[in-house]
Amino acid sequence: MTALLYTLGVVTFVLAILVSIGLHEFGHLIPAKKFGCKVPQWFIGFGPTVWSRQIGDTEYGVKAIPLGGYVKIVGMLPPGAEDLVEETTYDEDGEPVHRVRRSNTGLFTQLISDARAAEWEYVKQHDTDRLFYRLPWWKKVVVMAGGPTVNIAIAFGLFAVLFATYGNPRDEVVEPVVAAVPECVVPVEEQGRACTADDPPTPAAEAGIRPGDELLSFNGTPFSDWESFQALIRGNADGDAVIEVRRGDEELTLTTNTTVTLRQTSLEDETLTEVGFLGVQPEVDFATGGLVYTTAQMGTMTVETVEALGQLPVKVYEVGRAVVGLQERDPESPVSIVGGGRFAGEAASSEAFPLTEKIVTLLFLVASFNFFIGMFNFVPLLPLDGGHIAGALYEGLKRGMARLLGRPDPGHVDVAKLLPVAYVVGLAMLVMGVVLIVADIVVPLRLT
Indicate the range of 83-92, 200-209, 416-425, 439-448 predicted with least confidence: 83-92
Which residues are designated catalytic?
25
Q: Strands, E, within 248-348: which ranges?
A: 250-257, 259-264, 272-277, 281-287
Sorting pLDDT into bands at 50, 70 and 90, what band is 194?
confident
Sorting pLDDT into bands at 50, 70 and 90, what band is 33?
very high
Indicate the range of 191-200, 262-271, 317-326 predicted with least confidence: 262-271
DSSP code, position 124: B
**What pTM does this model have?**
0.82
Tell me the C-alpha to C-alpha distance, in Å, between residue 329 and each of 119, 317, 381, 406.
Answer: 43, 11, 28, 58
**Mean pLDDT taken over the chain:** 86
Residue 136 three-state SS: coil
Share of the chain above pLDDT 70, in %: 89
Q: Quick check: 84 pLDDT over 50? A: no
| Per-residue exposure over 314-341, b if at least 16 CB sit within 10 Å of its own CB, e if not | ebbebbbebbeeeeebeeebbbbbbbbb
Q: pLDDT at position 386, please?
A: 94
Taking only the tens place, the pLDDT of each residue in 211-238 is 999 999 989 899 888 888 888 888 888 8
Residue 435 three-state SS: helix
CA–CA separation, 394 and 161 (whole Å): 38
Q: pLDDT at position 266, please?
A: 59
Indicate the range of 114-123, 198-207, 215-224, 421-430 predicted with least confidence: 114-123
Q: pLDDT at position 154, please?
A: 97
CA–CA separation, 375 and 384 (whole Å): 11
Is the Cβ–Cβ distance between 188 and 272 less than 8 Å? yes
Taking only the tens place, the pLDDT of each residue in 4-17 is 889 999 999 999 99
Segment 29-57 mean pLDDT: 93
Segment 186-198 mean pLDDT: 78
Taking only the tens place, the pLDDT of each residue in 86-140 is 555 556 666 665 555 554 555 667 677 777 777 767 677 677 788 898 899 999 9
Q: Quick check: 167 pLDDT over 90? A: yes
Taking only Cα atoms into account, the Rg of the chain, rounded to an integer number of angstroms, comes to 30
Greater pLDDT, 143 or 194: 143
Q: pLDDT at position 276, please?
A: 84
How is the chain split into domains, by residue range? 1-8+130-167+290-448, 174-287
Fold topology of 174-287: Pdz3 Domain (2.30.42)
Taking only the tens place, the pLDDT of each residue in 369-411 is 999 999 999 999 988 999 999 999 999 999 999 989 989 988 8
Q: pLDDT at position 411, please?
A: 84
CA–CA separation, 354 and 375 (whole Å): 32
